[in-house]
């Protein structure tokens, strides 16, 4: 039962993160593209600030639940006298997840700070540059997230 609960939290965390990236990239970004920078950049700053707080929690929950589930699986196999070898899909998922976390860390703690400074200073070209960098890395993370899900399902 504990494993099922951990898996539910893990999946919901991943759904929130990937779903948020899909929403931001394919719905929000095009919808605000026609707004002038003095309107668009503060709006995106506020939206992304809230989203990044949610992603921080979701990514932490995803890592913790993933590690605990791997540990439980390994412990069960070893206790039954077997030797644990992590499935390829899990290895790919975990590796891509770590890369995604590193990218998210750069987005949140470098690029988003640049966006914050630019919005505070009303430096719209710098803000647009920071937002462009965020957009590219969010798209990369979205692709990696989809690959991670595909790996765990298909491998």
- pTM of the predicted structure, to 2 decimals: 0.92
| 10 contacts 79 by C-beta, under 8 angstroms | no
Residue 23 has, within 13 A of its CA and on its CB side, a CA count of 10
| 100 contacts 141 by C-beta, under 8 angstroms | yes
- Using alpha carbons only, what angle is made at residue 28 by residues 13 and 25, rounded to the nearest 5 degrees? 60
Distance CA(137)–CA(104), nearest Å, equals: 8
Q: Which two tokens stand for residue 88?
A: 């390829």
pLDDT band per the 50, 70, 90 thresholds, residue 132:
very high
If DSSP codes are grouped into helix, strand and coil, which group holds residue 33? Answer: coil
Q: What is the mean pLDDT of the chain?
A: 96
Which structural domain range is residue 22 located in? 2-154
Residue 6, pLDDT score = 97
Residue with tokens 């503060």: 42
For 63: left if phi > 0, alpha if psi spans -120 to 50, otherwise beta; the answer is: alpha
The number of domains in the chain is: 1
Average pLDDT over residues 39-53: 97
The per-residue pLDDT for range 88-126, each reduced to its tens digit, is 999 999 999 999 999 999 999 999 999 999 999 999 999
The per-residue pLDDT for range 7-26, each reduced to its tens digit, is 999 999 999 999 999 999 99
- What separation in angstroms does the CA of 122 have from each of 3, 39, 52, 116, 132? 49, 11, 22, 10, 16
Distance CA(22)–CA(20), nearest Å, equals: 5
């Amino acid at each position: 039962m504990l494993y099922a609960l951990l898996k539910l939290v893990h999946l919901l965390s991943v759904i929130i993160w990937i779903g948020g990236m899909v929403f931001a990239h394919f719905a929000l970004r095009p919808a605000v593209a026609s707004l002038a920078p003095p309107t668009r950049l503060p709006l995106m700053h506020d939206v992304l600030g809230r989203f990044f707080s949610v992603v921080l929690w979701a990514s932490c929950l995803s890592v913790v639940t993933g590690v605990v589930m791997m540990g439980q699986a390994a412990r069960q196999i070893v206790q039954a006298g077997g030797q644990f070898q992590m499935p390829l899909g899990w290895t790919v998922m975990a590796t891509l997840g770590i890369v995604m976390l590193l990218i998210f860390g750069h987005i949140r703690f470098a690029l988003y700070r640049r966006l914050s400074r630019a919005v505070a200073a009303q430096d719209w070209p710098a803000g647009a540059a920071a937002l462009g960098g965020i957009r590219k890395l969010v798209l990369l993370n979205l692709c990696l997230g989809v690959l991670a899900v595909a790996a765990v399902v298909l491998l």
